[in-house]
Amino acid sequence: MDGLTMLPDFITEDEASALIAAIDEQPWSGNGIRYRGRYSLTRTFHARGAHETADAAVRLPILSGLGPLPDFLSFLVDRIVERAFMDGDTPNYLVINEYELGQGIMPHTDATVFGPTIAVVSLLTPCIMNFLHPRTGHSFDLLIPRNSLTVMSRAARYDYKHSISKNHVDRTPEGDEVVRGRRVSLTFRIVKEWSGSEEGWEENGGETGERG
């Protein structure tokens, strides 16, 4: 599909283990169930320095109050930027989500404030992500393996809703079983200029796009 890329083994098993160990040491935020942490990459990763960082915080109020990117995540940003998955831009917003067995994601399209490209690193157990075109009804399933990177832009990002079921066991389009368990996702985005109004933030019945 236009704008959809999935790269298996984007990170190694050793890198994944180190990430999970570091993430599990971070404090909870949000509602204590889904959101491990939100970080503004701009504060520590903007190559143009402190002046630009401060200016970005004014122009992008969504970034204010967010913590700096922890050092253990820097290599992921480097890898995403080096391979031009976000058209050479550096993501400035990251949310880490944790999903236990029986938790999923309702069908949604990420809010427009989060920019044209969404990049998601998936850890621990695999899952099936469904893509649904709300106007045509076209639907298909994509296997999201552990340690993979999924990139959504263009049609995949704007024209389709994506979701993950609450099933304990999924099936691939080929009929193979996918046993679910704890899953952790790291969703990288580029927040564009935003006035702070609800327009552009809430989409598709109030979905905020804080998922991945």
14-34 pLDDT, tens digit per residue, is 999 999 999 888 776 654 344
Residue 194 confidence (pLDDT) above 80: no
81-134 pLDDT, tens digit per residue, is 988 788 778 888 888 888 889 989 999 999 888 889 999 999 999 999 999 999
- Round to the nearest angstrom and report the end-to-end CA distance of the chain: 18
Q: What pLDDT is recorded for position 57?
A: 38
Residue 160 confidence (pLDDT) above 80: yes
Q: pLDDT over 70 for what percent of the chain?
A: 72
Per-residue CA distances from 193 to 93, 109, 112, 135 (Å) = 13, 19, 11, 29
DSSP string, the chain: -TTEEEETTSS-HHHHHHHHHHHTTSPP-TTSSSEEEEEETHHHH-TT-HHHHHHHHHH-GGGTTPEEPPGGGHHHHHHHHHTTTTTTPPP-EEEEEEE-TT--EEEE---GGG-S-EEEEEEES-EEEEEE-TTT--EEEEEE-TTEEEEE-HHHHHT-EEEE---SEEE-TTS-EEE---EEEEEEE------SSSTTT-BTTTB-----
d(CA 42, CA 36): 19
Domains of the chain as residue ranges with CATH:
4-189 (2.60.120.1520)
Segment 60-72 mean pLDDT: 67
Q: Residue 22 phi/psi, 5° resolution? A: -70, -40
Instruction: Report the predicted TM-score, pTM, of the whole model to 2 decimal places.
Output: 0.80
Residues 6+ apart with CB under 8 A from 119: 80, 85, 86, 91, 149, 150, 151, 152, 187, 188, 189
pLDDT category at 147 given cuts 50, 70, 90 is: very high
